[in-house]
Chain A
Amino acid sequence: MSTTINFTIDGKAVSAQKGETILQVARRNDIYIPTMCYISKTSPCASCRICSVEAEGVDGFILSCNTPPTEGINIKTNSAELEQERVNIMKLYDVNHPLECGVCDKSGECDLQNKTLEFGVAQQNFSAKDQLRTVKDWGLINYDPALCIMCEKCVHVCNEVIGDDAIEVKFGGYSSTIIPKESETLDCTFCGECIAVCPVGALVSSDFKYSANAWELSRVPSTCAHCSAGCPLEYETRHSGINGDDSIYRVKNNFEFTSLCGAGRFGFDFNNTERSTSEDFQKALEALKSAKAIRFSSMITNEEAHILQRLKEKLDLKLFNEDARLYASFMNSYASVSGKLHYSGSLDAIKQADAAIVIGTRIATDNPGVRYALTTASKHNGAKIVYAHPMEDALMQNTVTQFMKYEVGTEEGVMALIANELLKNKELPKEIRKYFNELDLGYLEAESNVGDDELTLMTKSFARAQNKVLIIGADIFAHKRASNIAKLAAIIEKYTDFSLVVVPNEVNTLGVSLVCDLDVDEDLSNVVGYNAHGEFIISSLDGADLSVGALNQQEGTVVSIDNRVLPLNVALPFDGYTLNDIASAFDIKTKHTIDYTKELDSSKGFKSIAFDDLENFLSPYGDDERGYILDEVVCPVDETLEEVAELPEYNGTVVYHANPVLQFNRYTAKTKQLEKDTTLRGSAQFAAAAKIADGDEIKIHLRSGVVKRTFKLDEELKGTIALNPTFDILVDMSGYRFEKSKIVRVV
Chain B
Amino acid sequence: MSLEAFNNRNVTEGDYFLCDIEDYPQDGWGKFKRVVKRTFRGELFVGLWVVMREMIRFDIHTIQYPQEKMPIGPRYRAVHQMKRLWESDTERCIGCGLCEKICISDCIRIDTRIDENSRKEVTEYTINLGRCIFCGYCAEVCPELAITHGGEYENASDQREHFLLYEDMLTPIDKMKAGKQLEFEGFGSITPHEDERVKKTPLAY
Listed in ascending order, the chain A residues whose CB lies under 8 Å from chain B are 102-103, 107, 123-129, 135, 209-213, 215-216, 239-242, 244
Contact = CB atoms under 8 A, between A and B. Distances in A.
Given A127-B203, A210-B121, A215-B97, 16 more contacts: A102-B94, A103-B94, A103-B119, A107-B96, A123-B199, A124-B201, A125-B202, A126-B202, A129-B205, A210-B95, A210-B112, A210-B120, A213-B96, A213-B97, A241-B111, A242-B163
Nearest to B199: A123
Nearest to B144: A102
B112 A212 contact: yes
B96 A103 contact: yes
B90 to A, nearest CB: 14
B31 interface: no
A211 B123 CA distance: 10
B109 interface: yes
A216 B96 CA distance: 9
Contact of B114 (A126, A210, A213, A239): A210
B177 interface: no
18 contacts: A102-B144, A103-B94, A103-B119, A103-B120, A107-B96, A124-B201, A126-B202, A127-B201, A128-B205, A210-B95, A210-B112, A210-B113, A210-B114, A215-B97, A215-B101, A216-B101, A242-B111, A242-B126
B95 A216 contact: no
Nearest to B128: A242
A241 to B, nearest CB: 6
Contact of B124 (A127, A135, A216, A242): A242
Contacts of B98: 215
B96 A127 contact: no
B201 A244 contact: no
Interface string B95-113: 1111011000000010111
Interface of B: 94-98, 100-101, 109, 111-114, 118-121, 124, 126, 143-144, 163, 199, 201-205
A209 B94 contact: no
B143 A127 contact: no
A343 to B, nearest CB: 47
A240 B163 CA distance: 17
- Residue of B120, B124, B203 contacting most chain A CB atoms (<10 Å): B120
Contacts of B111: 211, 240-242
B100 A135 contact: no
Nearest to B102: A215
Given A124-B202, A127-B204, A102 B113 contact: no
A722 B177 CA distance: 66
A50 B204 CA distance: 27
Contacts of A210: 95, 112-114, 119-121
B165 to A, nearest CB: 10
- Residue of B101, B112, B163 contacting most chain A CB atoms (<10 Å): B112
A129 B201 CA distance: 12
A contact patch SS: loop
Contacts of B101: 215-216
A37 B118 CA distance: 28
A241 B110 CA distance: 7
A124 B201 CA distance: 6
A127 B204 CA distance: 6
A590 B109 CA distance: 39
A211 B121 CA distance: 9
A216 B100 contact: yes
Contact of A242 (B95, B109, B143, B202): B109
Nearest to A96: B201
- Residue of A123, A126, A216 contacting most chain B CB atoms (<10 Å): A216
A135 B118 CA distance: 9
A95 to B, nearest CB: 9
Given A102-B144, A135-B118, A241-B111, A216 B202 contact: no
Nearest to B201: A124
Contacts of B199: 123
A173 to B, nearest CB: 15
A357 B5 CA distance: 84
Contacts of B113: 210-211
Contacts of B126: 242
A102 B96 CA distance: 6
Nearest to B204: A127
A211 B97 contact: no
A209 B111 CA distance: 12
Contact of B95 (A103, A127, A215, A240): A103
Contacts of A213: 96-97
Contacts of A215: 97-98, 101
B205 A209 contact: no
B24 to A, nearest CB: 56
Contact of A216 (B97, B144, B203): B97
Contacts of B96: 102-103, 107, 213
A143 to B, nearest CB: 12
Contacts of B163: 242
Contacts of B97: 212-213, 215-216
A209 B113 CA distance: 7
Contact of B143 (A102, A124, A239): A102
Contacts of B100: 216
Nearest to B93: A102
A204 to B, nearest CB: 10
Contacts of A212: 97, 112
A209 B143 contact: no
Nearest to B96: A102
A212 B144 CA distance: 18
Task: Across the A-B interface, give the 7 residue pairs with the lowest CB-CB distance, nearest first.
Answer: A210-B120, A210-B114, A127-B202, A129-B205, A103-B120, A102-B94, A242-B109
A209 B114 contact: yes
Contacts of A124: 201-202
Contacts of A240: 111
Contacts of A241: 109, 111, 124
Contact of A211 (B112, B119, B203): B112
Contacts of B143: 102
